[in-house]
């Protein structure tokens, strides 16, 4: 199944353990999202990021637990993020963590794309259920 929709995201800075060196900017943030459409859900998670001294180069990882309904099925799952920017060229891997689905979403697998247009966030979720 492939579905699309909109979502809102709120990021808030958190304290973190690692100390940045050599001009790097390390960050840790809480992440709260609300998904609309066939995925009608909320999520909470955490993100770690590193901004380099080179403009447009950075990286982040994140984990978020999504809970709500997906095409009418109740439950949840975990999304795992791995993103890099290389002098402005983006690459994002966003996948359902294996065996993280529960309730009616047990066994879910899939990938998600995120697009931002005019400040609005959109998702494309390609998933499978057993």
Which tens digits make up the pLDDT trace of 62-87? 999 999 999 999 999 999 999 999 99
Q: What is the pLDDT along the chain (130 residues), one digit of tens a residue?
A: 999 999 999 999 999 888 889 989 999 999 999 999 999 999 999 999 999 999 999 999 999 999 999 999 999 999 999 999 999 899 999 999 999 999 999 999 999 999 999 999 999 999 999 9
Give residue 67's pLDDT: 98
- Cα of 20 vs its chain's centroid, Å: 24
* Interacting residues of 112 by C-beta distance below 8 A, sequence separation 6+: 79, 94, 95, 96, 123, 124, 125, 126
- Which neighbouring-strand residues pair with 124? 4, 113
Give the closest residue to 81 by CA, choosing from 98, 95, 67.
95
Give residue 70's pLDDT: 98
Q: How many domains is the chain partitioned into structurally?
A: 1
Give the closest residue to 78 by CA, choosing from 59, 62, 54, 91.
62
**Which domain range does residue 69 map to?**
2-128
CATH code for the domain in which residue 13 is found: 2.40.350.10
């Amino acid at each position: 199944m492939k579905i699309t929709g909109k979502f809102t995201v709120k990021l808030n800075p958190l304290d973190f353990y690692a100390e940045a060196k050599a001009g790097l900017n390390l960050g840790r943030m809480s992440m709260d999202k609300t998904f609309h459409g066939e995925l009608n859900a909320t999520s909470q998670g955490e993100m770690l990021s590193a901004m380099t001294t080179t403009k447009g180069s950075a990286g982040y990882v994140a984990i978020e637990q999504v809970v709500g309904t997906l095409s009418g099925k109740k439950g949840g799952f975990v999304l795992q993020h791995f993103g890099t920017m290389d002098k402005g060229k983006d690459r994002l891997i966003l996948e359902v963590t294996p065996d993280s689905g529960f309730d009616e979403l047990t066994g879910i697998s899939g990938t998600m794309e995120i697009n931002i247009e005019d400040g609005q966030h959109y998702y494309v979720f390609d998933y499978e259920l057993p």
